[in-house]
Amino acid sequence: MIDLHSHILPAIDDGSSSVEESIAMAKQAVGDGIRTVVATPHTLNGVYYNPLDKVINHVANLCEILQENRIELNLCPGSEVHICVGLAKKILSGEVATINNNGQYALIEFPVQAIPSGSKNELFQLKLKGITPIIAHPERNMVFQHQLELLYDLVAMGSIVQVTAMSITGELGAEAMESAHKLLDLRLAHIIATDSHSPENRPPVLSQAVEVAAEILGNIKEAEEMVTIRPDAILTGKPVNLPERKHPRKKKWFSTIFS
């Protein structure tokens, strides 16, 4: 399996706090059947700033440590970038790391309680520049939870959706679980990732979520594609085949939220 969203790099954001924790997380990932992890530290969120060159250096250092400890885990660079003004320019200038540094896919984080004005345009500008946005854990965003139409529009525009494994299994709360299950059922969730932060509270485990997703989708193959075929295409910069999405039941909402 491939984990596209992980905070495994030590002492770089709110994820792993030490090399020892990173080693423990790597061992857990391998034990769960994960063979590739994309290190996606937070950046441009007002707290952490992790530009491309810094991420690449930290990935190289951790790769060397994993080799010394004979841990067979492939580690790739990336970032979890907060939605902001001028995002496309920041990515193209090398300020922000894309997934596996291939310039094709970028993991985008929204605030938990809001969708900033102009977000849709920022994602549209990414698409115009040939960069596909991957929306990180929208099931944990309070606006998306209650207005799935907004997320549907972003997917229709070309965005990809990543849901967190622990949201699917219910370990991040009932609301996140309900939202994640709805996204799976509507085929608005395309990638399952761990968003791991530590060996204890937020471990790098995918297998349990894949089992639950398979039950919801009624198809184990489709669930497995969310941690194998699709993330592999993203790593290699190839197009991702997405399932035909169902339209969520319409609710009254103001389209100006994206204006």
pLDDT tens, residue by residue, 79-95? 999 999 999 999 999 99
pLDDT at 259: 41
pLDDT tier for residue 252 given thresholds of 50, 70 and 90: very low
pLDDT tens, residue by residue, 41-53? 999 999 999 999 9
Is 2-240 CATH 3.20.20.140? Answer: yes
pLDDT at 250: 58
pLDDT tens, residue by residue, 91-126? 999 999 999 999 999 999 999 999 999 999 999 999
Interacting residues of 170 by C-beta distance below 8 A, sequence separation 6+: 177
Interacting residues of 41 by C-beta distance below 8 A, sequence separation 6+: 7, 9, 12, 13, 15, 48, 50, 55, 58, 79, 80
Domain ranges of the chain: 2-240
Whole-structure pTM value? 0.94
